[in-house]
Structure 1
Amino acid sequence: MFFRNYFLLPLLLVLSMAGGATAQILTPTKLSVALSQPTAKVGEEVELIVNARIDDKWHLYATDFDPDLGPTVFTFSFTKSPAYELVGKPKSISSKKKYDDVFKGDITYFEKTGQMRQRIRLLQPGALTVQANVEYQTCTDIDGRCIPGEETLSFGPLPVTGAAIAATPATPAAATTAATTTAAATTPAAGEAAAAEAPVTSADTAVVVTDAAATPATSDTATAAASASAVAAAATPAANAAIPADSGLLSLAIVAFLSGLSGLLTPCVFPLIPMTVSIFTKGSANRRQGILKALFYGFSIIFIYVVLGLLTTVLLGADGLNLISTHWLPNLIFFAVFVVFGLSFLGLFEITLPNGMVNKIDEQADKGGWAGVFFMALTLVVVSFSCTGPIVGTILAMAAHGGGIQPVVGMFGFSLAFALPFMLFALFPAWLKSLPSSGGWLNTVKVVLGFVELMLALKFLSMADLAYHWNLLPRDLYLVLWITLSGLLGLYLLGRFKLSHDSDLSHLSVGRLLMAVLAFGFMTYLVPGLFGAPLPLLAGYLPPQSRNDFSIASGGTAAATSATPLNAACEAPRYEDFLELPHGLRGYFDLAQAQRCAKALNKPLFIDFTGHACVNCRKMEASVWSDPRVLQRLRDDFVVVALYVDDKAELPQSEWYTSTYDNKQKTTLGKKNADLQLSGFNVNAQPFYVLLDPTAPADLAHTLAAPVAYEPSAEAFVKFLDAGLARYRQQNP
């Protein structure tokens, strides 16, 4: 896949540059409707079916994930009708699910085809036609474009017979849901999902129905996704597949396997390998029996850990796994647990299971036979818990964020590596002589794992911090802590300091030196991130880029990163409490405000049509806008306005309007901006950059230069900016 995309890249770049100014309306998703039955009786439930055909290489976001993550959830808005009531939430049929590192949560989506269903209960006889307005978003991983969609669907007519009945009384939570209007995405939703399966009655206005997780939703909840700078991962497994087979599972299995190998090199486990194998080879009637028991011992270890992963999946279920990945409480618990594990590995204290439990299991192991071998394996798992527990907890936490069968896959990968030496050394006992002797190096492995645990703990704190906008762990502080931990690890490996359980270090081994090189190399790689470098290799682990507390001026001296304050003649930007521009730029998020400021400053407008879920927008900001030549021009020569086409913030009712483009009412900031892009420039893909005279209408006929879409060349982007600036100055001497 990598090499195929690599060779396609030049062609894509040429097409994007050539088509920037003449891009047409893209419709990668085509919707059709159906009913679950041709006729019905009053009191029956009928399903409204929406089928989607999706162009190749594109994916359509489904109904059932947290709407605050960033991508647009497929949403139904039904108008009031006494003839039916909604039953439950819309369902996505056979949608795929993955944990998205960009948006820090689980998303669901369709590829090629998709289907959503909404149940209704019939209340009156007659020919029923149900009208629903739907909003959705389709994206592609090929070049990062995202296309918002909005349609009015008509289901029916459906012949309904029988006598009229009353609507089911709504529960308080359901009534609250029913009273939510199309644009009301800014009210707290916590607690309402508990009653989502209750029948939902029609409201005086449109009824919004989604299947998203219940999390506090305010108008600024999309900020974290807005500044994400990593490229979304490739599509991952179907949520309802029995055994999802994809690169995500393979990556998890590899990480788990390597973690299992690291667990073998801890003081609790490594000394047990030769001792345990010798029991099987010397205490058996013959070599064949010893080998069979050793193999059974290894398979028992695998079985025990896989059962642990299976229990995690079954007990938590899909909702529980989704809660772990999106809710603040599980993430804070994981953060605390990982810190405890890390401090334990560093030697502050030791985590052990109760002695009574260990002794009882050990008694069963002493009984011999095949059952005794199994309990020997269980004894190993329990006794080694103080060293392997943190590693197992790490794997389960990572796997739980992926959902589905991932905990089982993670435990299988870990246990396979953990059991493999016992089986191999039983088959080839002569290899035991090649094992290094136990010693202080085992504690070194444990300490290294402790530093890794502390670094991973920050990721969970960051997830909660980003989702709820606490601003406890901004990117710069996150990087400072990682740099400090990796630097301390390097110094430890070089023997510059010792911890409580360390042996004296008479000399530095080559292996230890190489590990120190890796630690310091990692630290060095992180440092440029403090000054705005995107660090793409770690994009999935770091908070998104926004403000920087560090910068380096061109002359090598420190300088403040904040942009020059807006001129006194300009207004304070609307929406700046939850939207911001990258690289310390100051600007606007409302076109009218930006036009007034640009007129006052006699500068042209730089319009950035962008989106919270637009991966290519983040790539442009990280690799092109960060170029000093581009950044200087945007800061000094233009008034920048970022128009988010997918933002759910509700406009004041006085600003609602009916679009001349599609005759639909626009009630949110995102809909207003998307309508401007469609009606003015006949384009619906982002990113899309326009240079405009602030006194001219916002349309294609009045641009200062041909608009640009995705343009990864900073040189070409500079030429685009300079061309527009030159024409503006020519028109406004």
Structure 2
Amino acid sequence: MKKFITGIIVLLTLTSVFAQTEDNPVVWSYEVKKISDTEYDLVIKGDIMEGWHIYSQFTPEGGPLQSEFTFEEAGDLYELIGEPKEGKTVREYSDIFGVDEIFFKNKALFTQRIKLIDPSVDQLEVGLFYQICKEVCISKDEVFNISLSGKTVVVNEKTVDQRSQALSEALVLDLKNKNLLNGDSEGMDMGTSLWMIFGLGFLGGLIALLTPCVFPMIPLTVSFFTKQSQPKAKGITNALLYGFFIVLIYFLLSLPFHLFDSVDSQILNTIATNVWLNLFFFLIFIFFSFSFFGYYELTLPSSWANKMDSASSKVGGGFGIFFMAVTLAIVSFSCTGPILGGLLGSTALADGDVATNLTIGMLGFGVALALPFALFALFPAWLNSLPKSGGWMTTVKVVLGFLELALAFKFLSNADLVGNWGIFKREIFLGIWILLFLLMTLYLFGMFRFPHDGPKQKLSKTRLGVALLSGAFSLYLILGLAKVTDLKLLSGFPPPEFYSVFEQESDCPLGINCFKDFDEGLAYAQEVNKPILLDFTGWACVNCRKMEENVWSEPDIYPLLKEDYVLISLYIDDRKPLPEDGQFDFKFESGRVKTIKTVGEKWGTFQTLNFNAASQPYYVLLTPDLEVLNSSIQYTDKDTYLNWLKTGLKNYRSLQPENPFNQTKAIN
């Protein structure tokens, strides 16, 4: 019997796993818990595919779509006791929408307590509207026919009237070349790469090597291992072991964050969503920056270094080398501490699991810090090529101070966005960054000095080069502020473009003339004889905004959208009610009947019916005669999207060689 039950459990588990696909990334189930003769808990559960998330009922207005329950015949047959309660959720700040998003990862759990008015009731119908997102967003409706006693549920087949049938049939397009939609189209995963995080940490480690706390230690430590150890091979082995222990120490420093993560998987992400923590980090980074400017020194207790140094002498061998590596970490803290703080801030602001990002970043930092000790032990002659210690290391610290100061204002910006203060707008943020990098440029040109700067000397070529680079970056920011150029290199750092002191002029993306009704857009396309770009989008679709801001805005793409295509943007999550005479019942092939009450429900059904798709963003190219011009495409990169648009335009013009429109336009 036990084996039989185990087999059933395994079978059910496998069924659940295989039921999950990219088109159906969540598997729903329910259970009923009897509280008394008239009270029950309805428990709705969703197993969510890895990488996807479902938004809570309580995610703030102005952000992604909230989950929404409808309880048929509530108030007549039974009453609701309170609102549906939720299981564990995640809270993260969204730069796109400027609000905290609340959502489920891996598991969604809702519990609604009901009290029967009619004791004979045994079967209930519960509807759930939800939005599930990854690189794309899918808005879906789920219907649960729930038996309170566990008996077989009897679903009565519903019928629709003639008016509803006519409105349903009007949604179906007579598409030609529909098979083209199934062609392969490239997509792009824009999630933060762990290799990029490792590279960020590695760069931080390389910078730390150039500071006065670390740089002078390289020749001293390498010489100690290669000259004090006999035979020479043992010295090289010890130096390599020393480098390994440096990497290990910085790796171990990241492990406590995984312990926090096991308690709450998003505890570190509160850095990006909590006003007070953002303000705290703003002050911490200000504190770090002024230490780099030389106004005070950050040090760990000297007794710690003394104890570690003493332990390395007494223990000897591998353990002694380990304590030597710990001593280096302690005595170099005044320079490495602020850099590690910057690494923590950068990984917290990045996408993905923060604890994992931090571990990868710390590994990169440790590898960069350990690399010279290993390389110079293997090739000691290279030590002669090292530059001498001097004032240039102080310059490195000051440059780091300016960078820490710039990062500090990112946290202040987060606090402003989360707190909805409306003070630290995009233009103000950019103005402060322009000021900081101009000051750094002036410092590098020797226009002013800091307390720990040595005697004034002739500027080196390296310092002049960095000064010019800083000046060029200041100019880039100024041009971005003046909207002469975009600031895509800084994507994710300044406040979003809509968070501006200036009001938006159009509710269409980038001010492009667009239609939000398919029939109106189709009529216009037939009038001007231009192809259609059908854009299935959403007000709360993050990646729809990314495509519009980062891809559509490209100078090679924007003119095509504005001049050569008729843009029809259908918002699947538009909850605006349709006129009463536009509302109808739609019957699916399965027999289920859904009442279409909102604009979003209409266009969502329209997308599913004609294109067998439910995700956003989703793009289709059509002729005014409803001939498909190219494969459909979703969230992707600018080059792929540009080629896709050009191919569609080329295919359209090949179909109408006599069209005067074709004689005046050419595809580059």
TM-score of Structure 1 vs Structure 2, range by shorter chain = 0.5 to 0.7
Q: 2:65 aligns with which of 72, 75, 85?
A: 72
Give the number of equivalent residue pairs: 532
Give the CA deviation at 1:280.
1.6
> Is 2:290 aligned against 1:343?
yes
Secondary structure at 1:438 match in 2: coil
Q: 2:454 aligns with which of 460, 484, 503?
A: 503
> How far apart are the structure 2 equivalents of 1:536 and 1:395?
21
> Is this contact kept in 2: 1:85–1:123, CA < 8 A?
no
> Is this contact kept in 2: 1:280–1:291, CA < 8 A?
yes
Read off the aligned partner of 1:255 and give its amino acid letter: L
Cα–Cα, structure 1 residues 286 and 91, in superposed 2: closer, same or farther, change >3 Å? same
Give the CA deviation at 1:65.
11
Q: Which residue of 2 aligns with 1:195?
A: none
Q: Which residue of 2 aligns with 1:382?
A: 330
> Is this contact kept in 1: 2:538–2:544, CA < 8 A?
no
Secondary structure at 1:519 match in 2: helix
Give the CA deviation at 1:518.
2.0
Give the CA deviation at 1:64.
6.8
Structure 1-normalised TM-score? 0.59
Q: 1:249 aligns with which of 173, 184, 194?
A: 194
Q: Deviations over 1:246-279 (max 9, x none)?
A: x521111110011011101101110011111122
> Is this contact kept in 1: 2:293–2:401, CA < 8 A?
yes
Q: Which residue of 1 aligns with 2:539?
A: 611
Q: Which residue of 2 aligns with 1:674?
A: 600
> How far apart are the structure 2 equivalents of 1:322 and 1:443?
34
> Is 2:223 aligned against 1:281?
no
Give the CA deviation at 1:439.
0.6
> Is 2:354 aligned against 1:354?
no
Give the CA deviation at 1:468.
2.4
> How far apart are the structure 1 equivalents of 2:188 and 2:420?
24
> How far apart are the structure 2 equivalents of 1:329 and 1:476?
23
Give the CA deviation at 1:478.
0.9
Secondary structure at 2:411 match in 1: helix
Q: Deviations over 1:457-481 (max 9, x none)?
A: 1222222222221123111011111
Structure 2, unaligned stretches of length 5 or more?
A: 1-21, 153-186, 517-534, 563-568, 587-592, 625-632, 635-640, 650-668
Give the CA deviation at 1:509.
2.7
Deviates more, 1:71-80 or 1:345-354: 71-80
> Is this contact kept in 2: 1:38–1:158, CA < 8 A?
no
Q: Which residue of 2 aligns with 1:416?
A: 367
Read off the aligned partner of 1:540 and give its amino acid letter: G
Cα–Cα, structure 1 residues 647 and 530, in superposed 2: closer, same or farther, change >3 Å? farther
Q: Deviations over 1:352-398 (max 9, x none)?
A: 12233333333323325033322211111111111000011111233
> Is this contact kept in 1: 2:538–2:616, CA < 8 A?
yes
> Is this contact kept in 2: 1:534–1:545, CA < 8 A?
no
Read off the aligned partner of 2:235 and give its amino acid letter: G
Deviates more, 1:343-352 or 1:45-54: 45-54
Q: Which residue of 1 aligns with 2:347?
A: 399
> Is this contact kept in 2: 1:261–1:417, CA < 8 A?
yes
Cα–Cα, structure 1 residues 424 and 504, in superposed 2: closer, same or farther, change >3 Å? same
Q: Deviations over 1:388-437 (max 9, x none)?
A: 00011111233345424222212111111111111222222222111111
Cα–Cα, structure 1 residues 256 and 33, in superposed 2: closer, same or farther, change >3 Å? closer
Alignment of 1:587-666 (within 5 A): 610-617=538-545, 619-620=547-548, 646=573, 659-660=583-584
Q: Which residue of 2 aligns with 1:89?
A: 86
> Is this contact kept in 2: 1:45–1:122, CA < 8 A?
yes
Alignment of 1:510-659 (within 5 A): 510-532=461-483, 533-546=485-498, 610-617=538-545, 619-620=547-548, 646=573, 659=583
> Is this contact kept in 2: 1:614–1:687, CA < 8 A?
no
- Cα RMSD of the aligned pairs, angstroms, is 5.4
Give the CA deviation at 1:615.
3.4
> Is this contact kept in 2: 1:294–1:423, CA < 8 A?
yes
> How far apart are the structure 2 equivalents of 1:397 and 1:382?
21
The percent identity for this pair of structures is 35
Higher helix share: 2
Read off the aligned partner of 1:298 and give its amino acid letter: G
Give the CA deviation at 1:610.
5.0
Q: Deviations over 1:625-667 (max 9, x none)?
A: 899xx99xx9xxxxxxx9976479x99xxx999953569899x
Alignment of 1:182-581 (within 5 A): 234=189, 236=191, 248-315=193-260, 317-370=264-317, 371-401=319-349, 402-532=353-483, 533-546=485-498
Structure 1, unaligned stretches of length 5 or more?
A: 1-26, 162-231, 237-246, 550-560, 565-578, 590-607, 635-641, 690-699, 701-708, 717-733
Structure 2-normalised TM-score? 0.64
Give the CA deviation at 1:99.
8.9
Secondary structure at 1:380 match in 2: helix
> How far apart are the structure 1 equivalents of 2:618 and 2:307?
67
> How far apart are the structure 2 equivalents of 1:290 and 1:106?
55
> Is this contact kept in 2: 1:127–1:158, CA < 8 A?
no
> Is this contact kept in 2: 1:127–1:160, CA < 8 A?
no
> How far apart are the structure 2 equivalents of 1:657 and 1:439?
81
Secondary structure at 1:137 match in 2: strand
Q: Deviations over 1:513-545 (max 9, x none)?
A: 322232122222222221334422212111111
> How far apart are the structure 1 equivalents of 2:101 and 2:63?
11
Q: Deviations over 1:203-222 (max 9, x none)?
A: xxxxxxxxxxxxxxxxxxxx
> How far apart are the structure 2 equivalents of 1:444 and 1:504?
12
Cα–Cα, structure 1 residues 132 and 345, in superposed 2: closer, same or farther, change >3 Å? farther
Read off the aligned partner of 1:615 and give its amino acid letter: N
Cα–Cα, structure 1 residues 324 and 76, in superposed 2: closer, same or farther, change >3 Å? farther
> How far apart are the structure 1 equivalents of 2:245 and 2:338?
21
Q: 1:148 aligns with which of 123, 139, 161?
A: 139
